[in-house]
Amino acid sequence: MAYRVTLIPGDGIGPELVAAGCRVLEATGVDFEWDRQEAGAEIMETEGTPLPQRVLDSIRRNKVALKGPITTPIGTGFRSVNVALRHELDLFACLRPCKSYAGVRSRYQDIDLVVVRENTEDLYAGVEFASQSPEAKAIIAKSGGKINSEAAISIKPISPANSRRIVKYAFDYAVANGRKKVTAVAKANIMKFTDGLFFDVARQVAEEYPQIQYDERLIDNMCMQLVQHPEAYDVLVLPNLYGDIISDLCAGLVGGLGLAPGANIGFESALFEPTHGSAPKYKGLNKANPTAFILSGVMMLRYLKEFAAADRVEKAVARVIAEGKNVTYDLKAERNDPTAVGTQEMADAIIAAMK
């Protein structure tokens, strides 16, 4: 059986990671038919949009996509392609596991956390108004002087239905993967209606899973807890913005974003991608760590129920990292270590380890 998968190389270091990662996935013996679709900053120049309709059509048709990182301009330019994909395809659950691997330079060991992030609403819904716009002025006028008259405005929607499905996803994941605890994270002491609603729904869902321990943390306290006592936590479920921040913090516990895979999952389709960005300054240098992309491929294999192949790849990745010989510069004890290998060479070592 051949799996037809939408393949989005992305830009910056994306195409190099995709080339390396696809070779590793193909070496498992699982048959893939790649439906290659270009998106991102470079396509914006030629097609007038960073996310052509053909890309969305391809994912809807194939149901599964594997994607390299795509650049998002800061402050100006087009909106995030990543956010647009999640909204257009209703990929409501962002799954980001953070796991320690022997041989990685880190102050922490034996980390095994899973961040479940709501993907479609909160401040990332993109409902915002420029300073001095009619919409912003109307909201400011109704605030009774609580908002500065020159403020730009962002709206933070949190709904019962979307909160319920993401919390339920976190509990279902915990049950399916032998996890024991789910922690909901928000800031309900300040945002009593939005984050308060998220906690209220989470408590209701938790009652349906008596076999799973449930607790709550405020987002600021959660950051401190993860630095001091990460072993006390298991599955974390959060609204969109907090989930984005916490997933980077958890990646820092295990050695950095180069080791952080991710998945965006909906009822109809799923998209797998590394958590890190496109790092355009490293484009074409064969220098970027391919681990996060390859582990995203491992998550895809498990989604496709190719469990044996997924385990083979992850064990090979772990072996190569533990040996410390054929790894990229960021995985060396000294970043200027002249024995560091390139992106493609690390992929070659992982393929060899699989054999």
214 is catalytic: no
Q: Which residues contact 278 (CB under 8 A, 6 or more apart)?
A: 10, 11, 12, 13, 14, 40, 68, 69, 70, 71
Q: What pLDDT shows up at residue 124?
A: 87
Q: What pLDDT shows up at residue 75?
A: 52
More confidently predicted of 232 and 77: 232
Q: What is the mean pLDDT of residues 80-89?
A: 90
Residue from 180, 220, 325, 337 carrying the catalytic annotation: 220
> pLDDT digit string (tens) for 10-47?
999 999 999 999 999 999 999 999 999 999 888 888 88
Percent of the chain surpassing pLDDT 90: 88
Q: What is the mean pLDDT of residues 212-218?
A: 98
For residue 220, which phi and psi values (nearest 5 degrees)?
-70, -40
Residue from 244, 287, 330, 348 carrying the catalytic annotation: 244
> pLDDT digit string (tens) for 112-154?
999 999 999 999 888 999 999 999 999 999 999 999 999 999 9
Give all strands of the β-sheet with 270-274 in edge-to-edge order.
Answer: 31-36, 2-8, 64-67, 270-274, 261-265, 93-99, 112-118, 235-238, 181-186, 213-218
124 is catalytic: yes
Q: How far apart are CA 114 and CA 238, in angstroms?
A: 11
112 is catalytic: no
> pLDDT digit string (tens) for 237-282?
999 999 999 999 999 999 999 999 999 999 999 999 999 989 999 9
Residue 261 parent element (H or E):
strand 261-265
> pLDDT digit string (tens) for 37-63?
999 888 888 888 899 999 999 999 999
Which of 66, 14, 63 lies closest to 36, judged by CA? 66
Q: How far apart are CA 266 and CA 273, in angstroms?
A: 14
pTM of the model: 0.93
187 is catalytic: yes
Residue 8 parent element (H or E):
strand 2-8
Which of 6, 70, 9 lies closest to 38, judged by CA? 9
Say if CB 115 and CB 248 are below 8 A apart: no
Say if CB 89 and CB 271 are below 8 A apart: yes
Q: Which residues contact 6 (CB under 8 A, 6 or more apart)?
A: 35, 37, 55, 58, 59, 61, 62, 64, 65, 66
Q: Is the pLDDT at 76 greater than 80, yes or no?
A: no
By CB neighbour count within 10 A (0-12 exposed, 13-18 middle, 19+ buried), where does 284 fall? Answer: exposed
Judged by phi (left if over 0) then psi (alpha if -120 to 50, else beta), residue 305 lies in: left
Taking residue 57's Cβ as centre, other Cβ atoms within 10 Å add up to 12
pLDDT band at 176 (very low <50, low <70, confident <90, very high): very high
pLDDT band at 101 (very low <50, low <70, confident <90, very high): very high
Q: Which residues contact 258 (CB under 8 A, 6 or more apart)?
A: 276, 288, 289, 291, 292, 328, 330, 331
Residue from 67, 101, 122, 124 carrying the catalytic annotation: 124
Residue from 169, 187, 233, 287 carrying the catalytic annotation: 187
